[in-house]
Amino acid sequence: MNFIGNLIWIIFGGIFIFFEYIIGGLILCLTIVGIPFGIQCFKFAIVGLAPFGVKITDTSSNTGCLSTIMNIIWLLFGGFWIALTHLFFGLLFCITIIGIPFGRQHFKLMNLAFTPFGKSIS
């Protein structure tokens, strides 16, 4: 079932989400300061291409408060708007019964977009 969901997702826009996050990650990786944020964009690209069957978990990292600081910087410089975009599309898809699984995937991406540092994909 995950394969069919991912296939429909890719055909109806998932490929565009994937390329947007890849391009954003490459642009962010042009500077040394932007590399950690670019890596998070690559994490979004993986989930954005095939979100069905992917689990996002919180990781207990040894970075201390660094991930919190990075999440705050992420939110201030665009993460909030990315999360709002996924919230909008998630609500839009949940209007119909057929769209609910796709809306849930946007809510998953919204959760990741709100605080990407300290989360892993499995």
pLDDT in tens, 40-71: 999 999 999 999 999 998 887 666 788 889 99
Residue 38 has pLDDT above 80, yes or no: yes
How many domains are there within the chain?
1
What integer is the mean pLDDT of 24-43?
Answer: 93
pLDDT in tens, 84-120: 999 999 999 999 999 999 999 999 999 999 889 888 8
Looking at residue 98, its pLDDT comes to 93
Residues near 18 by Cβ (< 8 Å), separated by ≥ 6? Answer: 10, 45, 48, 49
pTM (whole model) above 0.85: yes
Confidence (pLDDT) at 120? 86
The per-residue DSSP string of 12-67 comes to IIIHHHHHHHHHHHHHHTTSTTTHHHHHHHHHHHHHHH--TT--EEE---TTTTHH
| Structural domain range at position 6 | 2-121
**pLDDT on residue 61:** 66
